[in-house]
Structure 1
Amino acid sequence: MDFRTLRAFVEVVRQGGFSQAAKTVFATQSTVSKAVKQLEDEIGAPLLDRIGHRSLLTPVGEVVYRRGVKLLADRDDLLAELDEMRGLKRGVLKLGLPPVGSATLFAPLFAVYRRRYPGIEVRLTEHGSDQLEESLRAGEIDFAGILLPAAPEFEWQEVGSEPLVALLPAAHPLGTRRSLTMGDLRETPLILFDSGFTLNRIILHAARRAGFEPDVVARSSQIDFMVQLVAAGLGVAFLPRLIAEQRSSPAVRQVPLDEPGTDWVMAMVWRRGAFLSEAAKAWLALVREVHGRAS
């Protein structure tokens, strides 16, 4: 059903005739008459009972008019909402962020975005990189903050890179070293993040390259809790340098990890070739503005 013919019919009823309807829709009376006839032919029944110069609604015409008014109103609302979304007055941005590093890397971006586009609703999801990748593939989120390397199906923009540091109990004999390798920690139990965190794989691969299978004594998604476990002497944990510096404690020594392939490289990732809403495009533009062009 053509909205143009429906609009002509509704205006004929509203204005009480073809002549006034023609003025309302900025068309000739003949054009309006043809539009109504086209609608009647499509429906297969007369909509107006023409008595002299008067036109009365038929029973079918009453139904079409009632429904038509609602359809046209919904169409107008839809177009208005799309205009607002194009103007970034409304919309939704769905972000998936990791527990590690979000406060440092993404909170400032989020604050700028909210100031620029206060009408955009931002829906945040927090998980490890593995689960965020699955949510991204399923189209449940527009962007994910994950550690590189990213799968070929994704495009990405790097937003931060930090070397890892080992967090050791203050009394640990290696706590005074200037740097450590994974081989140096062969006899020290590890405290890792929960499963699904890419940082775990980085650490475990480094240990296996050094020729040993580490003793993992605890897993957690809470950085502060992991630091406390280190302070209690349970084992060694690993954090990006910038984040570790924010959790300094007299009971914990921070020693740089001198191990190839263990840098923590965070990126904002999205599906290659995916449709991006205006709200999503604005977020990507901000990320590029702050961190450079896409990789």
Structure 2
Amino acid sequence: MKAIIKPLAQVNLKLLQTFLVVAAESSFRVAAEKSFRSPSAVSAQIRQLEEQLGVALFHRTTRNVRLTDEGEQLLECAQRALLEVEEGLRKIQEAADMRRGKVSLSCSPTVAETRLARVLAAFEKDYPGIEVSVRELTSSALFDSVRNREVDFGIGPAIDTAEFQFDPIMEDPLYALVPKRFITTAKRSISLTTLSNMPLLLLNPATALRGMLESAMNERHLSFSTRYEFTQAQTLISMATAGLGAAILPKVALPSRTDPSTYVLRIVNPMLVRQVSVITLRGQNLSPAPLRLVELLRQLLPDPDEQRRQRNSGERLEF
């Protein structure tokens, strides 16, 4: 059959779809079953496409169907075009999702009350059409919300488990807010052993921070006494300022201005650092709107001044 150049507009795109199925299956019968048509209808569509293009696309025998050289070329071009169309449709859908999407997340209280507002403000400015809902939850409830798919993702501490995927955002060292009536020091750090001899003010057992502290104590055969347990970091700060005990806090929760009656001391021997992460179920893929919010979290959740100081000089501690 002599090749005749035909205008592209005459080629029926539906016929190309049938061609792709026949080429993939090397069978008119199987292609007919997959496209819910009769074999004669599929064969007629291929003949129509060949007439439009002016070339034979398949070698047909009683035993098999295989592509001609021209068919191979068309297959390569059609597959490439299909990928480009799919990519274009995906981008269009993502753009639409970004204009009218929804994002739901859960966040640990210490991060929510100190760092989350500036991230949400930036996100709302860039994407005013996206509805964002936030749940402020302690660790156990936060993990339940991710596990039960009540939220797109969580923001909280990383733990040792294979159930969740943890995407690190920042490291958050633990500090002690110690009333000066318990200790006199010129240092900027305090050992866990020294702390264990003071009355401690702790977040409640439902928090991962409390679990980290208890594990470190147990590893060193230390015990501690506490008369007060709270959910909010600000309550611990108030209690420590009143001289009721040494408050154990992540750095993000430390007050910007320290009361002169207290020391702010980094916990050492061992250094205790929690990793704040975006938490999803393992294997879960986020849609475009949540992904964009995660990008902003990476950029804005860490303190830029703190990062710059640590890059320039490091955070030197006294032991």
Post-superposition Cα deviations, 1:215-271, rounded to whole Å, max 9, x if no partner, equal 121111222221121122221111223431425112221112113351122111111
Aligned to 1:149: 159
Give yes or no for the alignment of 1:190 onto 2:228: no
Contact 1:169 1:175 in 2 (8 A): no
Aligned to 1:33: none
1:106 counterpart letter in structure 2:
L
Give yes or no for the alignment of 1:269 onto 2:279: yes
Question: What's the offset of the Cα at 1:141?
Answer: 0.7
Aligned to 2:174: 164
Aligned to 1:173: 183
Shift in alpha-carbon separation, 1:87–1:187, aligned structure 2, 3 A: closer
Contact 2:191 2:270 in 1 (8 A): no
Give yes or no for the alignment of 1:123 onto 2:151: no
Give yes or no for the alignment of 1:215 onto 2:239: no
Contact 1:85 1:91 in 2 (8 A): no
Aligned 1:199-278 pairs, distance under 5 A = 199-246=209-256, 248-260=258-270, 262-278=272-288
Question: What's the offset of the Cα at 1:140?
Answer: 0.4
Structure 1: stretches of 5+ with no match in the other structure: 1-81
Instruction: Return the alpha-carbon distance in structure 1 between the equivalents of residues 231 and 196 of structure 2.
Output: 23
Structure 2: stretches of 5+ with no match in the other structure: 1-91, 303-319
Shift in alpha-carbon separation, 1:231–1:105, aligned structure 2, 3 A: closer
Aligned 1:16-35 pairs, distance under 5 A = none
Question: What's the offset of the Cα at 1:210?
Answer: 2.5
Question: What's the offset of the Cα at 1:142?
Answer: 0.8
Instruction: Return the alpha-carbon distance in structure 2 between the equivalents of residues 147 and 90 of structure 1.
Output: 30
Contact 1:170 1:231 in 2 (8 A): no
Contact 2:115 2:301 in 1 (8 A): no
Aligned to 2:9: none
2:176 counterpart letter in structure 1:
A
Instruction: Return the alpha-carbon distance in structure 2 between the equivalents of residues 272 and 231 of structure 1.
Output: 42
Post-superposition Cα deviations, 1:183-204, rounded to whole Å, max 9, x if no partner, equal 1122211111123111111111
Question: What's the offset of the Cα at 1:287?
Answer: 3.6
Question: What's the offset of the Cα at 1:166?
Answer: 0.9
SS in 2 for 1:180: strand
1:257 counterpart letter in structure 2:
I
Aligned with residue 121 of structure 2, among 90, 97, 111: 111
Shift in alpha-carbon separation, 1:84–1:144, aligned structure 2, 3 A: closer
Instruction: Return the alpha-carbon distance in structure 1 between the equivalents of residues 271 and 217 of structure 2.
Output: 11
Instruction: Return the alpha-carbon distance in structure 2 between the equivalents of residues 228 and 104 of structure 1.
Output: 16
1:117 counterpart letter in structure 2:
Y
Q: TM-score, normalised by structure 1?
A: 0.64
Question: What's the offset of the Cα at 1:138?
Answer: 0.3
1:99 counterpart letter in structure 2:
P
Give yes or no for the alignment of 1:283 onto 2:304: no
Q: Percent identity?
A: 26
Give yes or no for the alignment of 1:99 onto 2:109: yes
SS in 2 for 1:140: coil
Aligned to 1:15: none
Shift in alpha-carbon separation, 1:171–1:203, aligned structure 2, 3 A: same
2:294 counterpart letter in structure 1:
L
Contact 1:162 1:241 in 2 (8 A): yes
Contact 2:116 2:301 in 1 (8 A): no
Contact 1:175 1:255 in 2 (8 A): no
Shift in alpha-carbon separation, 1:187–1:260, aligned structure 2, 3 A: closer
Shift in alpha-carbon separation, 1:144–1:137, aligned structure 2, 3 A: same
Shift in alpha-carbon separation, 1:212–1:260, aligned structure 2, 3 A: closer
1:155 counterpart letter in structure 2:
Q
Question: What's the offset of the Cα at 1:99?
Answer: 0.8
Contact 2:94 2:288 in 1 (8 A): no
Aligned pairs, how many? 211
SS in 2 for 1:257: strand
Aligned 1:72-83 pairs, distance under 5 A = none
